[in-house]
Amino acid sequence: MRWNSPIPIFICIIMGLSLGSCRKNDMNPTHQGLSLRNDSIYTLPESCTPDSSPVVTIEKGSYIPLYGKEQTRIEVSAFEIDVYPVTQAAFLAFVKRNPKWQKSYVKRIFANQNYLKSWENDTTLGRNISPNAPVTNLSWYAAKAYCECQGKRLPTVDEWEYVAMADEKEKDARANKEYIQYILGWYEKPKTFLSPVGSTFKNYWGVYDLHGLVWEWTADFNSVLITGESRNDVTPDNNMFCGSGSLNTSQLMNYAAFMRYAFRGSLKADFSIQNLGFRCIKDIK
């Protein structure tokens, strides 16, 4: 399957077909017996220093997510978010200081065989990779470790979607057909992950590249499509949950969001995909 185009997964949502990632057991927030929210699964590196990535502050607010009971509004607290996705150069500096996350040393329980596969070796980027391109082919565990090393964390789905629903002028541009078409058009473009960060537009909040460069890991990437246990679940039908989630949503402009939720639902924490990167956020005390 070519991961740069999640159309096959989207078809599963629209038609209610059965994908492995749509089964309740596969969507349980555990991976190989490990809790995705258990911070004790590895020891944080000692050689961690804050990075110099620019950040912007996202004001607290609320939004109505794609899935859940109609008109259920989710509150989002204020936080700081990286302006750009984490770059190849930044992650290279991280693994040099923390060898346990180098491709030759990372434990397979934390990253599959595709981990950093485009790099020449543990501390050398691939020949065709720009240091300023977003880092990809890394697992959820590695992304989480990087953010924690910076005193930050991965954003939740709600936090990510709250920021990403903004275009250049509006906090919530989800009703803007041109904006949605831009996102859908990007989903079909090949190898955008090779472009440098900052290649796309700056949104209302001052954040770049939420759409148009790479998909991004979230802390709770597999939390939304959990039948019977999801925070907003409204149907007991295990077999039809993926399909009913889309059929019960009347806003056709949310097709782009359907794809994101489906893509997240197909992931496991050790996956390393060539167009999947990440950025970090920090709570405001």
CA–CA separation, 99 and 142 (whole Å): 12
Kindly report, residue by residue over 182-238, the tens digit of the pLDDT: 999 998 899 999 999 999 999 999 999 999 999 999 999 987 654 433 334 433 333
Asked if 78 and 62 touch (Cβ cutoff 8 Å), the reply is no
Asked if 259 and 6 touch (Cβ cutoff 8 Å), the reply is yes
In CATH terms, the fold of domain 7-283 is: paralog of FGE (formylglycine-generating enzyme) (3.90.1580)
Kindly report, residue by residue over 141-180, the tens digit of the pLDDT: 999 999 999 999 999 999 999 999 999 999 999 989 899 8
Kindly report, residue by residue over 99-150, the tens digit of the pLDDT: 999 999 999 999 999 999 999 999 999 999 999 999 999 999 999 999 999 9
In the predicted model, what is the mean pLDDT of the chain?
78
CA–CA separation, 91 and 136 (whole Å): 10
What is the structure's pLDDT at 32? 34
By DSSP bridging, strand 215-216 and strand 276-277 are parallel
- 19 pLDDT band, cuts 50/70/90, is very low
Spatial neighbors of 171 by CB under 8 A, at least 6 apart, are 61, 165, 204, 205
What's the pTM?
A: 0.77
Dihedral over alpha carbons 167, 170, 176, 179 (to 10 degrees): -10
Asked if 265 and 72 touch (Cβ cutoff 8 Å), the reply is no
Looking up tokens 């008109």 gives 71
By DSSP bridging, strand 30-31 and strand 34-35 are antiparallel
Residues paired with 121 in a beta bridge: 124
